[in-house]
Amino acid sequence: MLGNFTYCNPTKLYFGKDALNGLNAELPKYGKNVLLVYGGGSIKKNGIYDKVVALLKANGKEIYEDAGVMPNPTVEKLYEGVERARKANADLILAVGGGSVCDYAKAVSVSVHCDEDPWEKYFIRFEEPSCETLPVGCVLTMVGTGSEMNGGSVITNHKAKLKIGHVFAYEKIFPRFSILNPEFTYTLPRYQMIAGFYDIMSHILEQYFSGTDDNTSDYIMEGLLRSLIHSALVASENPTDYEARSNIMWTATWALNTLIAKGKDTDWEVHMLGQAVGAITDATHGMTLAAVSMPYYRMIMPYGLPKFKRYAINVWGIDPAGKTDEKIAEEGLAAMEDWMKKLGLVMNISDLGANEGMLDDLTEATLIMQGGYKVLTKEDVRAIFKASL
């Protein structure tokens, strides 16, 4: 392991069927005014809203609501949320939902006491907050992003055709606590559920396919991947299999809570390609990643052959006997592609609303990262989108 680092993850987790009771331990730590942030209403249909409100009331809280956070939260919604948080004089932001709601809560947190335009400050200039921030707690209802235990916040600006994630380093932006009850995710539509599974896969691979040093994190990632691959197939057949859903929820958190990135290089190019698709089509995050992954990995495989060979053998169980390294690596990617198709993931950006006429905008919107096995050219980026049409 070659890198130097400092490690601290300040988020306290409550996990399991009784996890929501953790609110009784956490809520007394904060002032009276709670901004309850949620999405388009799934939590009202599945009863999570009623349970959360009952606990807030039992703990003597004044509840101010900020509903309607959309998937891929927009900058316009962020401005609205900041006003709501100011009017409520909020002491705590309680985010009840998926990654979009958690990300949005963090963006509001850093913007409430900020005099500057938050889009410019945090998502264009990537500055850290220079003002007071509000504490955020999460009740997670959709698994995939890892937002429940990291400092990431992704905001979409449709006018600028940009979807940008800021991973805040400042520890106070991490949720102070997160409630993880796997049963809260049972009501997810199948499309969202499997999109989340692939988001987890992609988070791990973005950190795995980078660097050449012998690194403990790579061994941890191989274990996480094997658990995910197995549990996703079980959950795909039986979405209420608690064992599979709980394993997946826990894997998602570890896939992106900063641990496995420590001491190593990381890539994140698949997310840059996927975010470009998201900025232009507003498609579901995990599906945008699935649609660009195979052309990307097939393009970079020759440049990182030893790692792709290791991936094939250690993660997919490919038998290396009598095969060239290329053949082993290709079989690993083919096994991954089969798994993706078995789950029913979207494999083409045209199925997400993209078309040939969007290739220039997609290419323009894609940031090029430096940490992968091949630094892409703009022609490479275009070729990947074209192959994914």
Nearer to ligand NZQ, 90 or 138 (CB): 138
Residue 199 binds Zn ion, judged by CB under 5 A: yes
Total residues binding Zn ion (CB under 5 A): 1
Token pair for 172: 């106070």
Q: Which among Zn ion, ligand NZQ, none contacts residue 39 (Cβ within 5 to 8 A by kind)?
A: ligand NZQ
The answer to whether 197 and 171 are in contact (CB under 8 A) is: no
- Shortest distance, position 292 Cβ to Zn ion, whole Å: 12
Helices marked H in the chain — which ranges? 22-26, 42-45, 48-58, 75-88, 99-111, 118, 190-208, 216-237, 242-255, 269-281, 285-300, 305-314, 325-343, 359-365, 378-387
Is 144 near ligand NZQ (CB under 6 A)?
Answer: yes
3-class SS at 61? coil
CA distance 179 to 18: 9
Site residues for ligand NZQ, window 49-88 (CB under 6 A)? 71-72
Could you tell me the smallest distance in angstroms from the CB atom of residue 371 to ligand NZQ? 16
Q: How far is the CB of 196 from ligand NZQ (least distance, A)?
A: 6
Q: Which of 83, 96, 89 is nearest to 141 (CA)?
A: 96
Q: Which is nearer to Zn ion, 66 or 199 (CB)?
A: 199
Examine residue 269 and tell whether it contacts ligand NZQ (CB under 6 A). Answer: no
Return the bridge partners of 34, or none. 63, 92
Closer by beta carbon to ligand NZQ, 118 or else 196: 196
Neighbouring-strand partners of residue 131: none
Per-residue tokens: 112: 């409430």
**Least Cβ distance, residue 5 to Zn ion (angstroms):** 22
In whole angstroms, how close is the CB of 102 to ligand NZQ at the nearest point? Answer: 7
Written as six digits, the tokens of 174 are: 């991490």
Q: Which is nearer to ligand NZQ, 280 or 328 (CB)?
A: 280
* Contacts (CB under 6 A) with ligand NZQ, residues 92-121: 97-101, 103
Determine if 184 is a binding residue for ligand NZQ (CB under 6 A). Answer: yes
Residue 199 to residue 148: CA distance in whole angstroms:
14
* φ/ψ (deg, to 5) at 130: -115, 15
Please answer whether residues 273 and 206 qualify as being in contact, where contact means their C-beta atoms are separated by less than 8 angstroms. no
Q: Does residue 290 belong to the site contacting ligand NZQ (CB under 6 A)?
A: no
Q: Which residues contact Zn ion (rule: CB under 5 A)?
A: 199
Q: Which residues contact ligand NZQ (rule: CB under 6 A)?
A: 39-43, 46, 71-72, 97-101, 103, 141-142, 144-147, 150, 152, 154, 165, 184-185, 187-188, 192, 196, 199, 256, 271, 285-286
